Amino acid sequence: MKKRVAAAILLLALALCAVSCAEKIRDIDVCAAGAEIKTQFVPDGEGYVYRPQEADDGGYALDADEFASYYGDITESPDFAKLADYYIYIDETTPTKPCEYALFKLTDGGYAETLTGFLRARIGLKLENAKSYPDVDTSALKNAVFGAKGAYVWYIAVKDSAADIESLILKKLKG
C-alpha cells in the first residue's frame, strides 16, 4: 500500500513538473518584429512590405486574392481568414539575389502545418524557375528556413542571415 501511495505521489509530482515546465509562447506584435528584422538585417532593401494596414513608411495591405497570388496556385491557396496578423517582406528587385521573409500570427495554431506547406511550395517554385541560375544566386532559396511555434509561422529566404533572423524571432516568442 505504501508503495502505491509513494508511486502515486511521484507520478503527481512528475505531472506537475511537466505542466509547469511546458514552454510558454509570448504574444508578440508581428508588425513591430518584422520591421525590426528589416531594420537590423536588410536596412537597404528595396523590396515591398506587406501588413494588415497600409502605413506611411511604405507598407501595403494585402487582400485575400493578392495573398493567394504569392502563396497559392490556380488550384489551391492558403486561407487568408486564418491570418490574425502578418508582416511580409519581398525584394525581387534583383532576381538573382532573392530576399524575402515573413512572420504570420494565425487565428488557429492548428493551421501552421498547412501554411508552412504553402510557404515551402512558394520557395520550391522559385527554385524550379531558377534552376539554370548559378548556385550563388539561389543559395538564399536553397537554404530557406521555415518555422512554427504555437500560432506563429515564419519563413526566411535571405542570403547570409536566416539563422540570425530565426534566432531573433524565437527570442521574441520565448515566454
pLDDT tens digits, residue range 74-112?
Answer: 789 999 999 999 999 999 887 777 899 999 999 999 999
pTM for the structure as a whole = 0.82
Range of the domain at 155: 24-173
Q: Is residue 74 part of a domain?
A: yes
Under a CB-based contact definition with an 8 Å cutoff, are residues 85 and 30 in contact?
A: yes
DSSP element (H, E) containing 153 = strand 152-157
Q: Is residue 117 part of a domain?
A: yes
Q: Is residue 68 part of a domain?
A: yes
Average pLDDT, the chain: 85
Q: Is residue 105 part of a domain?
A: yes
Give 138's Cβ-side CA count (13 Å radius). Answer: 14
Q: Is residue 85 part of a domain?
A: yes
Q: Are strands 59-60 and 83-91 parallel, antiparallel or unpaired?
A: unpaired
Q: Is residue 125 part of a domain?
A: yes
Q: Is residue 142 part of a domain?
A: yes
- Our count of domains for the chain comes to 1
Q: Average of pLDDT values for 118-132?
A: 91
Q: What is the pLDDT of residue 171?
A: 94
Helix, strand, coil abundance in the chain, percent, nearest 5: 50, 20, 30
Q: Are strands 48-50 and 59-60 parallel, antiparallel or unpaired?
A: parallel
pLDDT digits (tens, 9 = 90+) for 25-47: 889 999 999 999 999 998 888 88
